[in-house]
Amino acid sequence: MALTSACDLGTVSSDLRRIMSQCNKRGLRNTVTWAAELDLALSDFVNDESDHMEDVDVMDRKESKKYALAKSYFDLQEYDRAAYFTTDCQSPAAKFLHYYSLYSAGEKKRLDDIAEISPPMDKSKNSYLKSLRVTLQKAHLAGTLDGYCLYLYGVVLKKLQLEKYALEIICESIEAEPFLWGSWLELATLISDRDMLNDLTLPDCWMKDFFLAHTYLEIQMNESALEIYSKLIEIGFSKSTYIMAQVAIAYHNMRDLEKAISEFQDVLKIDPYRLDNLDIYSNLLYVREMRVELSYLAHRACEIDKYRVETCCVIGNFYSLRTQHEKAVLYFQRALKLNPNYLSAWTLMGHEYMEMKNTSFAIQAYRQAIEVNRRDYRAWYGLGQTYEILKMPYYCLYYYKQAQQLRPYDSRMMVALGEAYEKLDKLKEAKKCFWKAHAVGDVEGMALIKLAKMYEKLNEEKQAAAAYTDYIRDAEAKNATDRDELCHAYLYLAKYYFEHVKLEEAHENAQKCMDYPETKEDAKTLLRQIAARRAHAEENKNTASQLKAQTAANQSGRLSPMNLTFTP
């Protein structure tokens, strides 16, 4: 762990303010905000009075004026003008602003050209990226790109889906400028699993811990992420709204809804106007059916900024909870007009189309979510459900497999995969899935009964009886009301014990079956058979007793007819 209780928080604060200054000059607003929030969280621990930040960018007077004008155009989103006025600039900040203005101009034009959001976005329109890549590639070969320009070069390569090269360039960017948070975030999107993460060679600085925790969340290693965030909180970041929100997301991923909601509420107490991650908070309120709280959150977000994507998603969830699915879709579409790459909106819109039984539009939405982020297990799972409805089991199996690989310890994914195998008559594979779902902690309480039925179908009677017994015990402890499953379990056990001549257990389970109309007749038949077998056993017992008595009498010395000796 790079960051420990012995870490110099003064150095961390100084690094944060330097990166704020450098990123502000380059128009990297998201990193500026992130660093500023962290620096504020350290205000109780760090004395800033003696700190002096050295400005490493040196510009001559004319270039300084050009830069100031271009930066004002950039802030007004007049990116072409900003790029034009920085064409010949040589200072690091001005040169980056030139490249970034070209990139931002192309992105703005691409987004403006998207008239409809339903069909997949046409990547061929990103022609501006190719020319920008050529320019940056030449500069890279000439060795004139600093850490910031390398970051932008990596982003361009990633947009062009040259992910292998993007990974190399972004790692190079991090080596050159280890405190640029944007580079770490881009790197996180390229990491597919823990092995890939472990293979990276990264600078050993305090920023690495924030990256590791963020990446662990992305690849669903939530416990590992929480461990790092807990240590960061202990050493001085307890008031960081960013870390608090990340902890809430970790609990959300782990399905610990109470803790997740509590963490988000704490975030809003510190920063009541924060909209970041509110769409996730609204998902939690939706799942818990907290209508009043979700209604308040929707109104509050709308008051703060009704044109933020998070606000649109919150309102969409609000309408979805009220089963007004058409209105919900309208707000998710509005979010996507604001940001076509906003993952949550695509996934949530897919869910709404599913509710509306519009499978073709649901498939489009889920596919677009995967285009934005292939690690979104919800989109893969949604596609699996959609093809299940369409009765296309092989497609269904493929998508559930993808979802399960992204969430290997989520019982819901395992149960869905098991059901897909079952429909394809691959019972042994289905059995393994249901067993694993039960072993990792069954969230929905379905794995055990499905596992028992698999054992039953495979004629593994002993295992089936044990699974049904465990299911009944759990169901009774939780006061479960799934009558169909319970009565089937009681009936199976009654028959199983009857066949193995355990009449007491058979009678007990058969009596339970009498409480259910579905199994009442079978139970009556079985109880008669049990009574007959008991009577037969009693009769055999009496016969055995008589024989035993006769044998005892013979052994007592009495003469039997065979012992008599005839005397003439």
Is residue 69 in some structural domain?
Answer: no
What is the rounded average pLDDT of the residues 414-428? 93
Is residue 328 in some structural domain?
Answer: no
Asked if 74 and 101 touch (Cβ cutoff 8 Å), the reply is yes
pLDDT, tens digit (0-9, with 9 covering 90-100), for 510-549: 888 888 888 888 888 888 888 888 787 677 766 766 677 6
- Total H helices, total E strands in the chain: 29, 0
What is the rounded average pLDDT of the residues 278-298? 95
pLDDT band at 58; cut points 50, 70, 90: low
AA identity, residue 241: T
The 3-class secondary structure across 330-361, one letter per residue, is HHHHHHHHHCCCCHHHHHHHHHHHHHCCCHHH
Q: Is the pLDDT of residue 123 over 90?
A: no
pLDDT, tens digit (0-9, with 9 covering 90-100), for 173-212: 999 999 999 999 999 999 988 888 888 889 988 999 999 9
Is residue 516 in some structural domain?
Answer: yes
Query: Residue 342 contacts by C-beta under 8 Å, 6 or more apart in sequence?
Result: 309, 313, 335, 336, 372
**For 17-21, 171-175, 212-216, which range has the lowest pLDDT when averaged over its residues?**
17-21
Asked if 121 and 97 touch (Cβ cutoff 8 Å), the reply is no
The residue among 291 and 43 whose pLDDT is bigger is: 291
Q: How many domains is the chain built from?
A: 1
What is the rounded average pLDDT of the residues 406-434? 91
**For 34-43, 44-53, 259-268, which range has the lowest pLDDT when averaged over its residues?**
44-53
Q: Is the pLDDT of residue 554 over 80?
A: no
What is the rounded average pLDDT of the residues 246-251? 96
Match 């039960």 to its residue by tokens.
438
Is residue 313 in some structural domain?
Answer: no
- pLDDT given for residue 121 in this prediction: 47
- pLDDT given for residue 382 in this prediction: 94
Q: How far apart are CA 145 and CA 126, in angstroms?
A: 23
**For 21-30, 357-366, 390-399, which range has the lowest pLDDT when averaged over its residues?**
21-30
- pLDDT given for residue 567 in this prediction: 42
- pLDDT given for residue 142 in this prediction: 92
Is residue 289 in some structural domain?
Answer: no
Is residue 398 in some structural domain?
Answer: no
Is residue 418 in some structural domain?
Answer: no
pLDDT, tens digit (0-9, with 9 covering 90-100), for 377-386: 999 999 999 9
Per the structure, the complete domain to which residue 525 belongs is given by 481-537
**For 40-49, 109-118, 305-314, 447-456, which range has the lowest pLDDT when averaged over its residues?**
109-118
- pLDDT given for residue 55 in this prediction: 52
- pLDDT given for residue 419 in this prediction: 93
Asked if 248 and 265 touch (Cβ cutoff 8 Å), the reply is no
Is residue 174 in some structural domain?
Answer: no
Q: Is the pLDDT of residue 119 over 80?
A: no
What is the rounded average pLDDT of the residues 239-244? 92
Q: How far apart are CA 267 and CA 27, in angstroms?
A: 27
pLDDT, tens digit (0-9, with 9 covering 90-100), for 255-276: 899 999 999 999 999 899 889 9
- pLDDT given for residue 263 in this prediction: 95
- pLDDT given for residue 345 in this prediction: 94
Q: How far apart are CA 331 and CA 276, in angstroms?
A: 17
pLDDT band at 301; cut points 50, 70, 90: very high
What is the rounded average pLDDT of the residues 317-334? 95
pLDDT, tens digit (0-9, with 9 covering 90-100), for 143-161: 999 999 999 999 999 989 8
Q: How far apart are CA 375 and CA 192, in angstroms?
A: 8
340 burial (CB, 10 Å; 0-12 / 13-18 / 19+) is middle
| Average of per-residue pLDDT values in the chain | 86
The residue among 439 and 247 whose pLDDT is bigger is: 247
